[in-house]
Amino acid sequence: MKRSRSLALGALAVALTATLGATLPAAPAADARGSQAPRTGFEKSHGARWTGQPEERDFLAAVDHASPRVRIDRVGVTKQGRPLRLVRIGAPAPRPARDVRRGNSVLLICSQHGDEPSGREACLSTVRDLAYATDRATLRFLERTEVLVMPTANPDGRAADTRGNSDGTDINRDHFALTTAEGRAMAAVLRDYRPDVIHDLHEYGPTVPYYMKDVLSLWPRNLNTADAVHSESTALSEDFVGPEVRRSGFSTGVYGIWTDPESGDPVKQVAGDGQERILRNTAGVKGAVGLLVETRVDALTDAEKADPALNNRRRVRSQLAGVAGTFGFVTHRRARIESATTSARLSGYADHGPVFLGGADNEPAPDDRILADPPCGYRLDAARFAQVKDELALHGVRWERAGDGAVVPVRQPLRDLVVLLLDGRADYHLTVATPMNVCRDVVGGNR
């Protein structure tokens, strides 16, 4: 059983990630009609430079024109006027949002931090390879799974080679407040498509000798992540991405944990807590399987130090290995994933259990950070409702009009999110709403 799964995963990984070899391909792939597939600026330069934004635009336009499996939507625009694009890939053609919500889907978020470009390159070549693939394994995968890709989640930061956007905001800390155009665009994608799996591609700087693996990954640590979603997220990291990364010749570990170079035992935690505003944790709170993947930036071999392009190619290949692991996970655990995400979203209607205002899966929440019996709803006066109405809508939170303000019931699919957004005791609340202990049983829509 394990051997057959391993062989199938290996075949799919090879089919989906043609650029995993020691060097980038000398010539691009071709589609079923023999048309030459476009190449990124990174591929054309053999890794000597990253793909420019005009090159990305032309590359995606060429893929979109050549393949009926691809559709490219503009889902937002940055402060500096750069488009935020969502690429949708499915076979024989991309499905509308309502069908994606009912089916199985995976979302790749690439380069939220503008100075971490390797994930973007992996995403661009993955879009092309999925669009042009002719093998049965990939076609079957796309028939059953919608692949959503935001190739450049932070275009202004990518143009400036900065971690933050044009205002200096770290958009991976904006998945609750939604103050940025980038954060709002991603929230709308999560709301409209409800992806089952979210794979977030990043890079990190190693600390020798404690923190220097080629690829690190981490699941949602937030304690409001449903048990089944948390279980699937850890399986994604430990049973699929990790093994695929190692099979591809790279080392791997857990993000945020320094380890002793001799024993391999944890030394200390340096990152990776349960704060809900980070995408992997937001994913868990919203009922999706989430994974942060971080690949090593710095060259650690003499050859890579002598040839930056060699280091760049290694960075992109290691990202592709992580993506292949996620695709294998979606293929082999489809039913379990759908069960976990569906039950997590439906459990909000039961309105049962505590809401955690702190802690993580490796750090129990103090008693004063646990709402054992949350309010049944929150009342917003006119001023506070006007302040947060748009953000609630982007998150997909339901409310009912109450005079000039609104009542937000806790009994809804995003139950825990409601508390975290509106309760003044939560660390990243949008506003301080009035808790309600008596609520109507019937929950209406936004009206």
Q: Which residue has the tokens 């409310």?
A: 399
Q: Is 275 left (phi over 0), alpha (psi -120 to 50) or beta?
A: beta
pLDDT > 90? residue 36: no
- Average pLDDT of the residues in 257-264: 89
Cβ contacts of 34 within 8 Å, gap of 6 or more: none
Which superfamily is assigned to 2-344 in CATH?
Zn peptidases (3.40.630.10)
How do residues 304-353 score in pLDDT, each as one tens digit? 999 999 999 999 999 999 999 999 999 999 999 999 999 999 999 999 99
Among 217, 279, 280, 219, which Cα is nearest to 250's? 217
User: How many other CB atoms sit within 10 Å of the CB of residue 96?
Assistant: 10
pLDDT > 60? residue 441: no
How do residues 180-203 score in pLDDT, each as one tens digit? 999 999 999 999 999 999 999 999
pLDDT > 90? residue 300: no
How do residues 240-253 score in pLDDT, each as one tens digit? 999 999 999 999 99
What pLDDT is attached to residue 438?
Answer: 82
The C-alpha atoms of residue 427 and residue 298 are separated, in whole angstroms, by 34
- Average pLDDT of the residues in 48-62: 98
- Average pLDDT of the residues in 82-92: 98
How do residues 113-147 score in pLDDT, each as one tens digit? 999 999 999 999 999 999 999 999 999 999 999 99
What pLDDT is attached to residue 262?
Answer: 87
How do residues 394-409 score in pLDDT, each as one tens digit? 999 999 999 999 999 9
Is residue 313 within 8 Å of residue 250, measured between CB atoms? no
Cβ contacts of 163 within 8 Å, gap of 6 or more: 113, 114, 115, 116, 157, 170
Q: How far is CA 42 from CA 50, 111, 132, 313, in A?
A: 5, 15, 19, 9
The token pair that represents 399 in the structure block = 């409310």
β-pairing, 355-356 vs 400-402, is: unpaired
Q: Which residue has the higher pLDDT, 72 or 11?
A: 72
What pLDDT is attached to residue 31?
Answer: 57
Which residue type sits at 388? V
Q: Is 75 left (phi over 0), alpha (psi -120 to 50) or beta?
A: alpha
What pLDDT is attached to residue 27?
Answer: 39
- What is the SS3 assignment for 401? strand
Is residue 126 within 8 Å of residue 107, measured between CB atoms? no
- Tell me the average pLDDT of the chain: 92
